[in-house]
Structure 1
């Protein structure tokens, strides 16, 4: 929940904050995209490391890195607002600081997901992953609300709050989470080096990457669309972007505490229904002219995420052995980051050329992934 709050605050304020310091749209979105690539490359390694060392120390490392990295990233933009750093120097320093943060904070998600899998029976895996997703969704709901309130004190205030919250979460994990017994850790020689091409996980990985290419493309250009279509100031843009993200996260949260806890469908069915909802949402967002229409589209996106992500995590977890849980969790945790690598850059470039094409690209990606799943070969046991 702490990392969900922090990430949603960054997404809500980065567009107007970047414009305040003179960055172009493609530069702003590329900061997210390139750092997401770093996150995606590091996550599988942290997952395997948690198999050897236990989940608790890896979670603490990730949260501590999130705290320090957020403070560093915020300081860079503070220097930008004061005019000490400008132009290409500001962009490169901001990019490097965000990438450094991503290397360490990528330890949190795979270790937390693997911890959940370690303590869950196979029959309850989908529900458990939905509960873990619920915590993240709650953070995504609270983040924009807090961001909108704190933005009245300046665009950097939400980032300082996110750093403090991550530090508190690290302390909580250190004090309360049990240590993995040495007997339950996997020896170094036995740690399975799972790959993105592993046939057991391939379909889940392709789906998750495609899903987040489309979602991140909309999310990272949302601030630009709101500011340009509605003629908003920087602070008003951050507040309205936060409200839109809160709608999406609210529906994700609602789906995860109701549908995902009560319906006993196979992961593949949940995924297909989710992609249909996200395709609808992208189409609605492509033509919005007022906040009410945008909110409807964001609700569809949130519903789709609530259906897809727990199912993807559960399906991947069920597909591998207990000794491979950290490795599988690391690969799945990398997928959103890899999606955020391609989505923001492609959508940011399209937005600079023709704003209306940006959400349509996301709709095309959702459609392509859905068609691939529907017409793929015989479903696996988890489908």
Structure 2
């Protein structure tokens, strides 16, 4: 493993810490500021919308001006945004910080472009597997950091993420060389309509558009999962936050093992396209099975199977996108992929919040407070709806990926 790849993997690890801090704590953090479930879902959405606009622009700028300067800007935004979230005094500041994090959120797309710069096509599946594994390691370390830092304050996990982002920023400034060998041709305008058209019509890009659609739809289902999963685990199964942290810790362990060892073994027998299909199938099945039986042991077992196969999807999509992109457009297409993934992941929680029977839950909780009784499990049953719908949609994504494979499956890798 080269020193450059190590730095890139650490940057992705930092991204994972920021993501896990959000997933594990934003529900309770939003409640701390008096936000409803639906309002809390917009903390995902505002980040997603701003990153959707910014990530392709940052990716294109990195094609022209180099990876390093744009990565520095993106990491600086992560440092500041997490610091502001961790010290926020009201919900307005909280939303503003999430917007800042999104508008400078080009870390992933630029990091993926660096991987493309430094690897040969036949090596990229493994490199992107390691890239995904660094995210998995973040899912191992993140829950542990969250568990210990929340003993200090609700905002402490975000401050810890800011600290790690600061370390990544320093490493980037002092040790990361520029990897872009051939800058894209200079144009009169960076923020031109051609880029906006590609953002709005990225699904029609030859060889890449179908993969971007798969990214968008898988991101939407994952966003629905992140909202429904936590509420279902805490409310329906009546578990506590330490148990939730422990479950996510297990996700990280299984996901990292799959991406470091499993992908290496799978690529010897299957193509990247086949591995992606496998991940999509098991993701859909697990989403549907999770809420079938309201038992914590059953739920954990299905969730662990999900974590294993879910870890296959994005590395394979990133690999296929890089293989179908021109050398001068690697940053731009990686940026589009990150943008579609971001906005769809933010859209998912909003859709999930609309599926939940808010009135029944609020009425049951109000009666429980007045009478001093416990809320029945049945009152929280609608928290399982997002998981069912996410599963059905995941199978739809699989069918789409199979039907469009001729557009992107030009490489037997």
TM-score (ref. length: structure 1) = 0.89
CA contact (8 A) 2:72 2:173 kept: yes
Residue 82 of structure 1: aligned partner: none
Secondary structure in 2 aligned to 1:153?
A: coil
1:366 aligns with 2:405: no
Residue 20 of structure 1: aligned partner: 32
- Alpha-carbon distance in structure 1 between the residues aligned to 2:24 and 2:219: 17
- Alpha-carbon distance in structure 1 between the residues aligned to 2:339 and 2:305: 24
Matches within 5 A, 1:104-253: 104=104, 106-180=105-179, 184-189=182-187, 193=195, 194-195=198-199, 196=202, 197-231=204-238, 236-237=240-241, 239-253=242-256
Return the offset for 1:356. 2.4
1:357 aligns with 2:376: no
1:214/1:102 CA distance change after superposition, 3 Å: same
- Alpha-carbon distance in structure 2 between the residues aligned to 1:221 and 1:127: 32
- Alpha-carbon distance in structure 2 between the residues aligned to 1:291 and 1:13: 21
Matches within 5 A, 1:339-358: 339-353=344-358, 354-358=382-386
Residue 324 of structure 2: aligned partner: 319
- Alpha-carbon distance in structure 2 between the residues aligned to 1:377 and 1:263: 19
CA contact (8 A) 1:35 1:99 kept: yes
1:8 aligns with 2:6: no
Between stretches 241-250 and 18-27, larger displacement belongs to 241-250
Q: Give the alignment partner of residue 54 of structure 2, picking from 42, 49, 52.
A: 42
Matches within 5 A, 1:275-286: 275-286=280-291
**Deviation sequence 1:150-205 (CA, Å, 0-9, x none):** 22222221111111111111111111111246x63223239995551212111111
Return the offset for 1:93. 3.8
**Deviation sequence 1:55-90 (CA, Å, 0-9, x none):** 1111111111001011112222xx2xxxxx4xxxx3
Q: Give the alignment partner of residue 267 of structure 1, picking from 268, 272, 292.
A: 272
Residue 307 of structure 1: aligned partner: 312
**Deviation sequence 1:328-370 (CA, Å, 0-9, x none):** 1111111321221221001112124432211111101101111
Return the offset for 1:21. 2.8
Q: Which runs of 5+ in 2 are unaligned?
A: 1-12, 359-381
Secondary structure in 2 aligned to 1:258?
A: helix
- Alpha-carbon distance in structure 2 between the residues aligned to 1:376 and 1:51: 28
Residue 6 of structure 2: aligned partner: none
CA contact (8 A) 2:288 2:392 kept: no
CA contact (8 A) 2:210 2:404 kept: no
Return the offset for 1:96. 2.5
- Alpha-carbon distance in structure 1 between the residues aligned to 2:405 and 2:143: 41
- Alpha-carbon distance in structure 2 between the residues aligned to 1:69 and 1:124: 34
**Deviation sequence 1:213-240 (CA, Å, 0-9, x none):** 11121112333222212445xxx42x33
Return the offset for 1:304. 2.7
- Runs of 4 or more above 4 Å deviation: 190-195
1:69/1:309 CA distance change after superposition, 3 Å: same
1:337 aligns with 2:342: yes
CA-atom RMSD in angstroms: 2.1
Between stretches 54-63 and 312-321, larger displacement belongs to 54-63
Secondary structure in 1 aligned to 2:87?
A: helix
- Alpha-carbon distance in structure 2 between the residues aligned to 1:122 and 1:138: 25
Secondary structure in 1 aligned to 2:383?
A: coil
- Alpha-carbon distance in structure 2 between the residues aligned to 1:345 and 1:156: 23
- Alpha-carbon distance in structure 2 between the residues aligned to 1:62 and 1:158: 20
- Alpha-carbon distance in structure 1 between the residues aligned to 2:260 and 2:405: 32
Larger radius of gyration: 2
